[in-house]
Amino acid sequence: MPLQSNDLFRLNISERIKKNMKEYEVKYNEWLNNPIFDEETKKELESIKENDAEIEDRFYKDLEFGTAGLRGIIGVGTNRMNKYTVTKATQGLANYIIKQNGQNRGVAIAYDCRIMSKEFSDEAALCLNANGIKTYRFEDLRPTPELSYAVRELGCIAGIVVTASHNPPEYNGYKVYWEDGAQIVEPTDKDIINEVNNITDFATIKTMEKEEAISKGLYHTIGKEVDDKYIAELKKLVVHGDVIKEMQKDIKIVYTPLHGTGNVPVQRILKEIGFENVYVVKEQEMPDGHFSTVSYPNPEDPKAFELALKLAKEVDADIILANDPDADRLGVYVKDTKTGEYIQFNGNMTGNLVCEYILSQKKAKNELPVNGAVIKTIVSSNLTDAIAKEYGVKLFSTLTGFKNIAKIIRGFEQDHSYECLFSYEESYGCIIGTHARDKDGIVAVMTVCEAAAYYKKQGLTLWDQMNKIYEKYGYYKEKQMSITLKGSEGAAQIKKMMENMRNNPVKEIAGLEVISFGDYDKQEIVDKNGNKTSTGLPKSNVLYFDLEKNAWVCVRPSGTEPKIKFYMGVCGDSMKNADDELQKLEVAIKEMAENAQK
């Protein structure tokens, strides 16, 4: 049944603005006075009534349901993650599902360890149920890749995962998946966004009691049966089960879930394929939405590894692995036996190590298909291009975001053109095979451990093997730089910077000539002679500078954080040369960013 409304409190915003009320003040007063909103909500609003800046930040805009769903700070307000903004998004999704006649196929729902994740997932399920749509909600927290798998396994029309991935503790988020198990892409994303934006009255959002939803066969709880099938799919991707058995007592693995969802499935898969010496960081083993041992639960951040590094030194571990809270990303440290130190791998290094391992071992076993393919994003390492070429595998590049990789995989299935062997993006996410349609930090853990066992049998550490890859293909190095600009002023500044760089493209960066300039919003690439070609990809607010000497720079606003991101890459003839060239490029990009802000 719909939430109850009271027309006495329905506000005409334009009339209030005429009375010298700012729009965010009008929205604040509506939430404060409208009986739709509960007393707990109003109590929180009362606590900030003297803080105009806080009121503005909470109400100056609606939390945008974008192509990545919702992500924002938990709290009361239109620009916050709360049960009202979550159910508004869910009602929009429900309206779209009904138009697609997908009510009986249902929606799979998962959630992570974050504050309010469990509650938001339940609110979403009951909103869908009130619209006559079946839901299959996991009994407890589960990793995002398992949700992706479950959508297809259960034949659902859509999926929802409540997570803010690796964001700080005060954030939560809401991601929507479609029937192929991938995050929504065009035109579905735009159609769902339109449905969400069409909801202007919270009174039109439906909900129902859980007991009633269960009795009507709308609310279903899932768990072990999906877990077992998911783990079985991962086991099929092991290349050298014999090597694992041979080396299982010799490999020491330190793992941390960073208080998130990875702990149970990681321990299970490693045990079932044969690894014996797996040491979990006890302080970070249990779910904790406050992330009490880390300020930022991101496996890209070295600080997140402090406890894991301590444990690794105590047990003399070969590798250290960390998943982010929803376990779709993987961070890696490997031991250098020459120095005794642990070396951090970035997402490109891990991706290329795994890519080389899978392709080389499949070729050695005569299992490399003639139509094999590898997929990466345009901000990922050019080293992947060289590896794919070495093994005669087709390389595909696409826009940032794993949903774009999933779109290519879906195309392969539809036209039977290629078999995807491996795909990754530089932001610490990859997937082996196609069992899920989002990055999978669980299968990544499994494969990195397998690779460590294989190379240790050859007398190599993973750091040794990474150096062999550099020696074989060239010293490719990459880096990312972000500038954080918060609030409405920050958003305007980021927009200005992108416009300045788009309208006044530079001809050289760090002394390297720009061979071509790609404006993905215009869907065109212009070479240094003025010749234009199509990007062949959907429109996106991305700028790409292809430089001489196999170097490159890419710029885009973040889709989930108040940041503008600069990606860069070089290829040197030695490690030192690559480091030097990358440093020069970073200095030049900082100058370019400063100029763009003027």
**Within 13 Å and on the Cβ side, how many CA atoms surround 194?**
9
Q: List all residues 6 or more positions away from 342 whose beta carbon is below 8 Å from its beta carbon.
A: 309, 312, 313, 320, 333, 334, 335, 336
**Within 13 Å and on the Cβ side, how many CA atoms surround 259?**
21
Give the tokens for residue 562.
């108040």
Q: List all residues 6 or more positions away from 292 whose beta carbon is below 8 Å from its beta carbon.
A: 259
Let me know if 165 is a catalytic residue. Answer: yes
> DSSP letter string over 324-353?
-TTS--EEEEEEETTTTEEEEE-HHHHHHH
Cα separation, 92 vs 78, whole angstroms: 16
CB atoms within 10 A of CB 11: 14
251: alpha, beta or left? (left if phi > 0; alpha if psi -120 to 50): beta
CB 120 within 8 A of CB 172: yes
Give the tokens for residue 357.
């391992």
Phi, psi (degrees; rounded to nearest 5) at 184: -60, 140
Return the H-helix or E-strand segment holding 373.
strand 372-377
Catalytic residue among 121, 148, 165, 397: 165
Cα separation, 558 vs 360, whole angstroms: 35
**Within 13 Å and on the Cβ side, how many CA atoms surround 313?**
10
Place of tokens 């014999």: 242
> DSSP letter string over 508-520?
EETTEEEEEEEET
Calculate ∠ Cα 374-436-454, nearest 5°. 60
| 345, amino acid identity | F
CB atoms within 10 A of CB 71: 21
Cα separation, 490 vs 496, whole angstroms: 10
Pairing of strands 277-280, 252-256: parallel
User: What sign does the dihedral 498-499-501-502 (CA atoms) show?
Assistant: positive
Cα separation, 530 vs 510, whole angstroms: 21
**What amino acid positions are annotated as catalytic residues?**
165
